[in-house]
Structure 1
Amino acid sequence: MKQSVAHPLVIGGGPVGLVLALSLQQSGVPVTVLEAQQPGAMYGDGRALALSYGTRQVLEQLGVWDRLAAAVTAIAGIHVSQQKGLGRALLKASEHQLPALGYVVSYGALMQALDARLAESAAGIEVRYQVPVQHLHVDGAAAEVTFQSATAAEPEVLVTPLAVVADGGRSLEAIPGLIRDTKHYGHDALVGLVRTELPHRNIAYERFTPYGPMALLPNGEQFSLVWTGEQAYIDQISALDDAAFLQALHQAFGDRVGKFLHIGKRGRFPLKLSKLEQTFAAHCVVIGNAAQTMHPVAGQGFNVGIRDAMALAKNIAATAADQWGAAHRLSEYQQSRARDSGRGLLFTDFLVNVFSNDLVGVGLLRGAGLGALSLLPFARRFLVNKMSYGS
Structure 2
Amino acid sequence: MNEVIVVGAGPVGAVSALALQQHGVAARVLEARAEDARADTRTLALAHGARLILERLGVWARVQDVTPITRIHISQRGALGVTRLSAEALGVPALGYVLSYAHLTEVLKQALAEAPIAVEYGVPVERIEPGIEAACVQAADGRTWSAPLVAVADGGRGTQTPAPRFAHDYAQTAVVCEVRTELAHGGQAFERFTPEGPAALLPKRDGYALVWTAASAEAMRIAALSDAEFLAALQRHFGGRQGLFLAATPRKTFPLHCVYAGREVGARVVRIGNAAQTLHPVAGQGFNIGLRDAWELARLCADTPATALGGEAMLHAYARGRRFDVVAGLGFTDFLVRMFSNDVAVLRHARGLGLLALEALPPLKAFVARRMMFGARG
Band of TM-score, shorter chain: over 0.9
- 2:113 corresponds, among 100, 105, 119, to 119
Q: Distance in 2 between matches of 1:114 and 1:275?
A: 26
> Match for 1:66: what amino acid?
A
Q: Distance in 1 between matches of 2:263 and 2:119?
A: 28
Change (3 A) 1:246 1:101: same
Cα-to-partner distance string for 1:221-248 (whole Å, 9 max, x where unaligned): 1100000111122122123211111011
Deviation at 1:174, TM superposition (A): 2.2
Change (3 A) 1:74 1:277: closer
Aligned residue number for residue 293 of structure 1: 278
Aligned residue number for residue 125 of structure 2: 133
Q: Distance in 1 between matches of 2:167 and 2:289?
A: 18
SS of the aligned residue for 1:103 comes to strand
Aligned residue number for residue 50 of structure 2: 55
Aligned residue number for residue 344 of structure 1: 329
> Match for 1:189: what amino acid?
A
Gaps of 5+ in 2: none
* Contact 1:213 1:227 (8 Å CA) reproduced: yes
SS of the aligned residue for 1:205 comes to strand
- The 5 A counterparts of 1:4-153 are 5-43=1-39, 45-68=40-63, 70-122=64-116, 125-149=117-141
Aligned residue number for residue 160 of structure 2: 174
- Pair 1:284 & 2:269 matched: yes
Q: Distance in 2 between matches of 1:289 and 1:206?
A: 23
Q: Distance in 1 between matches of 2:195 and 2:160?
A: 39
- Pair 1:316 & 2:301 matched: yes
- Pair 1:204 & 2:196 matched: no
> Match for 2:309: what amino acid?
W
Deviates more, 1:317-326 or 1:54-63: 317-326
Deviation at 1:116, TM superposition (A): 2.1
> Match for 1:338: what amino acid?
R
Deviation at 1:6, TM superposition (A): 2.4
Q: Distance in 2 between matches of 1:58 and 1:40?
A: 26
* Contact 2:261 2:277 (8 Å CA) reproduced: yes
Gaps of 5+ in 1: 150-154
- Pair 1:328 & 2:322 matched: no
Aligned residue number for residue 224 of structure 1: 209
Deviates more, 1:375-384 or 1:335-344: 375-384
* Contact 1:136 1:143 (8 Å CA) reproduced: yes
TM-score (norm 1): 0.93
> Match for 1:28: what amino acid?
G
Aligned residue number for residue 161 of structure 1: 148
Q: Distance in 1 between matches of 2:374 and 2:178?
A: 27
TM-score (norm 2): 0.97
Q: Distance in 1 between matches of 2:138 and 2:266?
A: 20
* Contact 2:190 2:201 (8 Å CA) reproduced: yes
Cα-to-partner distance string for 1:182-208 (whole Å, 9 max, x where unaligned): 111111111001011111111000000
RMSD: 1.4
Cα-to-partner distance string for 1:39-66 (whole Å, 9 max, x where unaligned): 24244x3311000000000001101001
> Match for 1:162: what amino acid?
L
Q: Distance in 2 between matches of 1:33 and 1:381?
A: 38
Q: Distance in 2 between matches of 1:289 and 1:267?
A: 20
SS of the aligned residue for 2:233 comes to helix
Q: Distance in 1 between matches of 2:220 and 2:16?
A: 38
Aligned residue number for residue 152 of structure 1: none
Q: Distance in 2 between matches of 1:10 and 1:81?
A: 41
Deviates more, 1:273-282 or 1:325-334: 273-282
* Contact 1:281 1:331 (8 Å CA) reproduced: no
Q: Distance in 1 between matches of 2:262 and 2:203?
A: 36
SS of the aligned residue for 1:71 comes to coil
Q: Distance in 2 between matches of 1:38 and 1:206?
A: 36
